Structure 1
Amino acid sequence: MNIFCTPLINRMLEFENYIIRPLVLEDLDEFFNLIETNRERLNDFFAGIVSKTKNIEATRVFLKEVIKKQESKQYFAFVVVDNTTNKLMAFIDLKNIDWTIPKTEIGCFTDKKISGKGITTKAIKTFLDYSFNHFKFKKIYLRTHHSNKAAQTLAEKCGFELEGIIRMDYKTTSGKIIDLMYYGLINNK
């Protein structure tokens, strides 16, 4: 089956009381609220998303860009939805995709209401299986700052291995250029 002709998720990924599905334009208000509620804690390390979602209209433009990039297989954005409340609880994206390897970077953030409860770890494990099987990635990596202990713990719980530290690798929203820790996960199937 050609992955370029198949829908992103032809069935919703489920775990516990949550589903993972592609981010869609109809998520505008909920997505903006998720960002707005968590903006302060996302500010430095989700610079692109934070800067492109300053108000509802800017968020609409951002979502349209995301959908266009998904259609061209350059970028994929997903949300974790609470099945009981239908609220967006987390965001997961696949970016910096290199189809020649094939590999991608995974990013995620969780609503502060569920942070630290293990939900993100379960979501990422479910999503990694899907990404390796559906997209046929050979490698998925994530980058994080040494101060983000939660991301480091998440990476390790999900089987990623620390591959190294890349110096002067990321510019925060405040303009500071920082080092990042690189974690990689190889698909041995």
Structure 2
Amino acid sequence: MCSLNIAFRHFKIDVLKPNQGEAFFNLIDSNRARLEDFFAGTVSKTKTLKDTIGYCKEIQQRIKDKSYFPYLIIDINTNTFIGLVDVKNIDWNVPKAELGYFIDINYEGQGVISKALKHVVEYLTVAYKFRKLLCRVGSKNEGSIHVALKNNFELEGSIRSDYKTTKGEIVDLNYYGRVFSYNN
């Protein structure tokens, strides 16, 4: 049930498919320097095209296991991957999950990632009835903080010295959450 196909403006959102390794590699590779600190796992598993193709196969199993959902943002005009909203650290007992997101540098400031996150959140709450969604954001990452706030996530707190970047810097993380209630 993880598949969705949402379109807005000239973009669409859909789950990563097994045959999209090259396009996924290109997205990560063209944004590698800015992603390496907070998408360290993805960056480390996509160093080469061959690595990325293998990683995409691994991801397919995680999708089947409902432990990870990668939703790609695609520019329909160019058929290019331009961003990602991923659902990770899923706890089905609550149920809750963490969201990560980024947009290609060429699309920053256009509201695309905010709109994509909105659509993914709507989908997740309908399809999976998540009770809580959260975002962990570097305390100095003003762009990502703005995206979380624009999508009605509330600052739950800041955890000091909570994350080590790939450069070895220990940074503070802000935790933003959204709680959903459903009539049973």
Please say whether Structure 1 and Structure 2 have the same fold, judged by a TM-score greater than 0.5: yes
**In 1, Cα distance between equivalents of 2:16 and 2:166:** 24
- 1:136-180 CA-to-partner distances (Å, cap 9, x unmatched) read 100100001111000100011000000001233222122333221
Name stretches of at least 5 consecutive residues in structure 1 with no aligned partner.
1-6
**In 1, Cα distance between equivalents of 2:131 and 2:51:** 35
**In 1, Cα distance between equivalents of 2:168 and 2:128:** 34
- Tell me which residue corresponds to 2:57: 64
Cα contact 1:15–1:126 (8 A) shared by 2: no
Q: CA deviation at 1:50?
A: 0.8
**In 2, Cα distance between equivalents of 1:154 and 1:142:** 10
Name stretches of at least 5 consecutive residues in structure 2 with no aligned partner.
none
1:180 and 2:141 correspond? no
- Tell me which residue corresponds to 2:107: 114
Aligned 1:18-167 pairs, distance under 5 A:
18-167=11-160
Q: TM-score, normalised by structure 1?
A: 0.92
Q: CA deviation at 1:45?
A: 1.0
**In 2, Cα distance between equivalents of 1:173 and 1:47:** 7
**In 1, Cα distance between equivalents of 2:146 and 2:46:** 28
**In 2, Cα distance between equivalents of 1:62 and 1:177:** 27
Q: TM-score, normalised by structure 2?
A: 0.95
Q: Percent identity?
A: 41
**In 1, Cα distance between equivalents of 2:65 and 2:37:** 28
Q: CA deviation at 1:182?
A: 0.1
